[in-house]
Amino acid sequence: MDNNSITYFAETDARNKRVKFGIKAEDRLRHIYSIGKTGMGKSTMLENMAIQDIQNGEGMAFLDPHGKTADLLLDYIPEHRLKDVIYFAPFDTEYPISFNVMEDVGPERRHLVVSGLMSAFEKIWEDQWSSRMAYILQNTLAALLEYPGATMLSINRMLTDKLYRNKVVDNVKDPTTKAFWTDEFAKYTDKYAAEATPAIQNKVGQFVSNPLIRNIVGQSKSTFDIREIMDKKKIFIVNLSKGLVGENNANLLGSMIVTKIYLAAMSRADADPKELKKLPNFYLYVDEFQSFANKSFADILSEARKYKLSLNITHQYIEQMAEEVRAAVFGNVGTMISFRVGSFDAEILEKEFAPVFTMEDIVNLGFVQIYLKLMIDGVASQPFSATTLPPFPKPEISFRNEALKMSRKNYTRSKEEVEKEVKEWHMPEQKIVASSPKYIEPKVKTKIEQPKQKPRFEQIEIKKESQFKKEETKKEENNLAKAIGEAVKEKKELWKKQEPKKEIIKTVNFNNIKSEVKPISLDELRRKEKDRNKTPSPQNISALKEAIQKAKSQQVVSSQQPVVRKSKEEDIQKRDIEPKTKEKTKSSNLQPPTSKLPNEVPEDVLRKILKGE
């Protein structure tokens, strides 16, 4: 299309003069924004412009969250453009198309994919989003973008399959991403990892668990190239009917497609300025664009024009846009069109159309009536009123079925083939290795070290797995032994606290008794020959009586063994075996118990001695 060629979409209504007008191709690169309540004619205006692009041989993409317009456009495909049609319909389960947003992303643009996907996830799961989720997911995406064949299915596998994760991390070249996985994530405790990763797995799992979506994003190789679609002016129709696909699935798929189109446009920066001028314009239509507009959409609005990507976006009310997107829309859009809106939106739009139209004028617009500021040769016009064109009549001959068949033939695969590929990819690493013989170390029954046998196989992957499992098993055994040791130690301390006290009756050892009065022996008490006629003095008698009384007061026990009360717990008796053995050994050195000690003097004998008998 020539830069001066015009795409018609409305006609003037001032002073009853009906003049059809449109917008030049060069001015379309500054983007078109339209807003209005439902049923006011916004979608019809987009349809009319898209039909003109199809019939004029232009390259275009149409994202439709309702499905009505996407289905309608198939009737307007001319016969000579049947090969140019790519019809993206996720609900076509028998022939799923392949779309991998993570495929063939250069190092200089990986951050754009990460940013786009992160913004899409955050927008959909805004209430459950957290900084920890974002941090782990960001590094997961960054690592997978460097790994060949990675898809959206790889996210959950990266978090759950250690062998797969190790293979991905080994392939990472970016130092920051690699440091996260080797120095940080690897040191996460099982408890912390169990708290941090399930939130991501749940969110991503909701998306990829649906067979509709899994068969599309689970294929490693996309069946279409968006850069080729743009450069060769193909027709890319995306039917994201929320009733058939699901709202969250449609929003996430749409966001991924918008991100991929933006990346394809950015890749045109590699071309020389002369070649870039020769490249054709590409027109992107997004109905209800707030469903797919995340924070990265602001960058698309500001950068897309440089790479000949024109956006034509529409929605119902301003509050649907995030603050960043709202600022980008009102700051970068060249042509602004307003259908009838509510009072809140009219108050904001009044500033754009003042002083020509007031808030009351905008609120009272009729069906298909619009107020607009049109970009004309790079300059925005003064606001004026118009009415949009009626729907284009359908052609007498429709090539709808031929277009669908051609699209299926060129850009889809059979359901059975896709599911087989996804199933094989889902196979865990350990199951694949399990088909080879496993090396089992011989059991050592004696203390003599036996030489290790060499494994019968030489597969590197199996050796790595065996070594990894040995290290994991050794760590688990050490942790278990440590835990058992601590438990036994605590149990012993508890037993010591609960151990009954021994009651020991002290025995009297006459050999160790120290008395101020010397013991009286039998020889000393017997009278000698020379003292036969002498009588004992009163002092001697009183001293002897005191000694006798003192000897009586001493408690004599026939057994010198300590008496221990019987305990009901047998464990206490076992622990007392060793101290009792020592006591028996010690007591064996003592004199055997007798009824009469050697130095003991019967009282009747002493009385006779004292009387001199």
The model's pLDDT over 348-369, given as tens digits with 9 standing for 90+, comes to: 999 999 999 999 999 999 999 9
| Alpha-carbon 499 to chain mean position | 51
- Lowest-confidence segment of 23-37, 89-103, 112-126 by average pLDDT: 112-126
The Cα 381–Cα 397 span in angstroms is: 40
- Which tens digits make up the pLDDT trace of 300-357? 888 888 999 999 999 999 998 888 889 989 988 999 999 999 999 999 999 999 999 9
Report the 10 Å Cβ neighbour count for 224.
Answer: 17
Report the 10 Å Cβ neighbour count for 149.
Answer: 13
The Cα 504–Cα 523 span in angstroms is: 37
Whole-number pLDDT of residue 393: 93
- Record the tokens describing residue 80, joined without a space: 């000579």
pTM score of the predicted model: 0.69
Whole-number pLDDT of residue 381: 94
Nearest to 338, CA basis, from 364, 319, 320? 364
**Strand 282-287 to strand 235-239: parallel, antiparallel, or no bridges (unpaired)?**
unpaired
- Which tens digits make up the pLDDT trace of 530-551? 555 556 667 777 777 777 777 6
- Record the tokens describing residue 611, joined without a space: 């009387």
Q: Confirm if 158 and 176 have CB atoms less than 8 A apart.
A: no
The Cα 161–Cα 166 span in angstroms is: 9
Helix H or strand E encompassing 171: helix 162-171
- Which of 107-111, 444-448, 467-471, 545-549 reaches the highest mean pLDDT? 107-111
Report the 10 Å Cβ neighbour count for 609.
Answer: 16
Strand, helix or coil at 371? strand
Residue 502 has pLDDT above 80, yes or no: no
DSSP conformation class of 79: G
Residue 505 has pLDDT above 80, yes or no: no
- In this prediction, what percent of the chain has a pLDDT beyond 90? 43
Whole-number pLDDT of residue 236: 97
The Cα 523–Cα 348 span in angstroms is: 133
**pLDDT-based confidence at residue 526 (cuts at 50, 70, 90):** low
Residues 6+ apart with CB under 8 A from 52: 7, 8
The Cα 211–Cα 418 span in angstroms is: 11
- Lowest-confidence segment of 70-79, 243-252, 307-316 by average pLDDT: 243-252
Whole-number pLDDT of residue 563: 45
Average pLDDT for 488-516? 56
The Cα 190–Cα 248 span in angstroms is: 31
Residue 275 has pLDDT above 70, yes or no: yes
Higher pLDDT, 379 or 130: 379
**Strand 20-24 to strand 6-12: parallel, antiparallel, or no bridges (unpaired)?**
antiparallel
Angle made by CA atoms 399, 405, 406, in degrees to the nearest 5 = 85
3 state SS for 274-340: HHHHHCCCEEEEEECHHHCCCCCHHHHHHHHHHHCEEEEEEECCHHHCCHHHHHHHHHHCCEEEECC
Average pLDDT for 225-246? 94
Angle made by CA atoms 274, 276, 279, in degrees to the nearest 5 = 120
- Lowest-confidence segment of 176-190, 409-423, 427-441 by average pLDDT: 427-441
Q: 452: exposed, middle or buried (C-beta count within 10 Å: 0-12, 13-18, 19+)?
A: exposed
Nearest to 607, CA basis, from 516, 525, 493? 525
- Record the tokens describing residue 167, joined without a space: 């293979």
Strand, helix or coil at 178? helix
Whole-number pLDDT of residue 551: 66
**pLDDT-based confidence at residue 17 (cuts at 50, 70, 90):** confident
The Cα 156–Cα 214 span in angstroms is: 13
**pLDDT-based confidence at residue 602 (cuts at 50, 70, 90):** low
Report the 10 Å Cβ neighbour count for 180.
Answer: 21
Longest dimension (CA), the chain: 174
Whole-number pLDDT of residue 555: 47
Average pLDDT for 113-125? 86
Residue 136 has pLDDT above 50, yes or no: yes
Residue 143 has pLDDT above 90, yes or no: yes
- Record the tokens describing residue 576, joined without a space: 């007392």
Whole-number pLDDT of residue 40: 94
Average pLDDT for 243-258? 90
Bridge partner list, 315: 35
Residue 32 has pLDDT above 70, yes or no: yes
Residue 192 has pLDDT above 90, yes or no: no
The Cα 354–Cα 373 span in angstroms is: 11
Residue 506 has pLDDT above 60, yes or no: no
**pLDDT-based confidence at residue 594 (cuts at 50, 70, 90):** very low
- Which of 99-103, 197-201, 400-404, 417-421 reaches the highest mean pLDDT? 400-404
How does the average pLDDT of the chain come out, rounded?
A: 80
Helix H or strand E encompassing 133: helix 131-144
